[in-house]
Amino acid sequence: MYDLSGYYDNCSCNLNFDLINGNTEPVTVILPFCGMCNRNKYLQDSRKKSRLSKNDSMIFKEIIPVNTTEDQTQMVFIDAFLQNNRLDHLTQLMGYHPTYLENFLRTQQYLLRGDGPLPFHYRHYIAIMAASRHQCTYLIHLHEEEFILQNGDPDWLKGPTHIPKKIRNLFELNKLMAHRPWLINKSHIDKLTRGKDNWSLSELMQAICLIAHFHAMCSFVYGCGVRNELDHNGESLHRRLSMSDDSDSDTQGNEPEVKIEVLMERMKKLNEDDSDDPTEEERLKRFESIENQSVELISSSIPSPRVEVLKYCEDPEFCYQDFAKRDNLDSIPTFRAQDYNWEEHGFSLANRLLSDIGSNLEDRFNIAINLTYYTMGKVKNVDTSAFRCAIWNYIHCLYGIMHDDFNYSQVNQLLDRNLKSYIKTVTCYPERLTKKDYDSCMQEFRHSEKVHVNLMLLEARLQGELLYSLRAVMQHMT
């Protein structure tokens, strides 16, 4: 027990602190109930960490404040703090969309702290492993702390030689899911579920969901430029992005951004014109055209991973390869959603192996893609469904997933080159994102709309990884 005397005696926020599940332990990241006491100082001293300066802001300079007057958002923030003993910047950014945030928190709480076959410290170590694939120190540090709080062995944090072989066996699956999920097949599941240190299918289902969840979270963290809650290494994520402002990340040159007025006109025409009904062969050609065009979108150079990341990451040089340039074209065909999709296959398999996870994920996917306030920038009463659908399906295209009911010609009509480049970088190798990449697109969008785009990137990527992984699990079971 920590001695809190002298830090917040006679402070009105004392009651709030004590009521959080009877907790008098220092929280991992601070929710500033009150500026009258020195609790922040105590919490910093107790962990010997320093907070970032006020100038170390994130790309999104506007986050929903803790004392928001929006009732729904405030209630979700309270739930988030009760669950996590913190209200972090990610939660405050997602607070622009409280309906989504509520479901996101429910799913994450279930994966990390709910009923399930995996021990709690295993879950946080898997989160660390997943975040390491994209060098996301923000998530790595948060879950290193949570791992210790769940009585995890500190030696595990020294490197792979200190962890059980059962956990090490996940490294290959983690690597493939993060960068080239189309390489996952039945043999990977066979290997994990057999032998001395085998995984049960329910354990593996939970591990797969955790891995995919935190890979996708890396995309959101980088896409929003979220800073560290506590600065462990003297360098914030925003600073890393800012240092790349003058990089050669955009070697093909920026193109003028499509203005909102033009984009609205294109969406209106698409909604009104139902004459374009391509054949199945033509749809495939359009899909492959978009797929091949994505190869031309070049990102910045790969940042050198730090030692603190390398110890959790096997084969760090392994990274995303364009699906159109994959090896063995014949043996790895396009993933046809009509043959295996979330609604008809993934949902039921996920629920079967890990109760309720499929339902929670289903809600998240639906909210992310259907969420709308009928605005675009300063314009109101806008039907953005075509734009949202183009983003979602373009992300899946980057992973070789084709939806037969989507007209892929809409991608080039609604997503300009700069936005497609941003989407590809954030989805496939978010650690390479520069502030220049971010500044080149969505310039007329509101902050909340930019957050929504990043939420769609998160969820579409998550679903893509799950589709490949669950298809392999199904093949193993049949």
* Structure confidence by residue, pLDDT tens digits, 152-184: 999 999 999 999 999 999 999 999 999 999 999
Determine the Cα–Cα distance for residues 460 and 453; give it in Å rounded to an integer: 11
Whether the CA torsion 446, 366, 182, 187 is positive or negative: it is positive
Rg of the Cα atoms in the chain:
22
* Domain span holding position 16: 1-48
Number of structural domains (the chain) is 3
Q: What is the pTM of this model?
A: 0.84
- For residues 330 and 205, membership in a common domain is answered with no
Q: CATH no. for residue 173?
A: 1.20.1290.10
Q: Where are the alpha helices (DSSP H) in 6-119?
A: 14-19, 39-47, 71-84, 89-94, 98-113
- For residues 33 and 89, membership in a common domain is answered with no
On the CB side of 189, CA atoms within 13 Å amount to 23
Determine the Cα–Cα distance for residues 125 and 167; give it in Å rounded to an integer: 9
Burial (CB < 10 A; 0-12, 13-18, 19+), residue 233, is exposed
Stronger pLDDT, 54 or 185, i.e. the higher one: 185
Q: What is the mean pLDDT of the chain?
A: 83
- For residues 155 and 39, membership in a common domain is answered with no
Is the pLDDT assigned to residue 298 strictly greater than 60?
Answer: yes
Identify whether 63 is part of a domain: no
Asked which of 240, 269, 297 is the last residue of a domain, the reply is 240
pLDDT of residue 296: 79
- For residues 37 and 102, membership in a common domain is answered with no
- For residues 236 and 248, membership in a common domain is answered with no
Phi-psi category of 345—alpha, beta or left, where left has phi over 0 and alpha has psi -120 to 50? alpha
Three-state secondary structure string covering 230-255: CECCCCCHHHHHHHCCCCCCCCCCCC
The pLDDT confidence band at residue 280, using thresholds 50, 70 and 90, is confident
Determine the Cα–Cα distance for residues 341 and 359; give it in Å rounded to an integer: 15
Which structure tokens are listed for 402?
């084709």
Determine the Cα–Cα distance for residues 478 and 465; give it in Å rounded to an integer: 20
Pairing of strands 379-380, 375-376: antiparallel
- For residues 103 and 152, membership in a common domain is answered with yes
Identify whether 193 is part of a domain: yes
- For residues 156 and 285, membership in a common domain is answered with no
Determine the Cα–Cα distance for residues 186 and 472; give it in Å rounded to an integer: 5
Q: Is 31 helix (H, G, I), strand (E, B) or coil?
A: coil
Identify whether 35 is part of a domain: yes
Q: Write b or e for each residue in 341-350: b if 16 or more Cβ atoms lie within 10 A of its Cβ, otherwise e.
A: bbeebbbebb
Q: What is the pLDDT of residues 253-265, one digit of tens each?
A: 556 678 899 999 9
- For residues 92 and 115, membership in a common domain is answered with yes
Q: Is 406 helix (H, G, I), strand (E, B) or coil?
A: coil
DSSP 380: E
Closest CA to 225 of 396, 437, 471: 437
- For residues 330 and 443, membership in a common domain is answered with yes
Instruction: Show which residues are catalytic.
Output: 136
Q: What is the pLDDT of residues 223-239, one digit of tens each?
A: 998 866 644 444 444 44
- For residues 440 and 366, membership in a common domain is answered with yes
- For residues 183 and 215, membership in a common domain is answered with yes
- For residues 234 and 376, membership in a common domain is answered with no
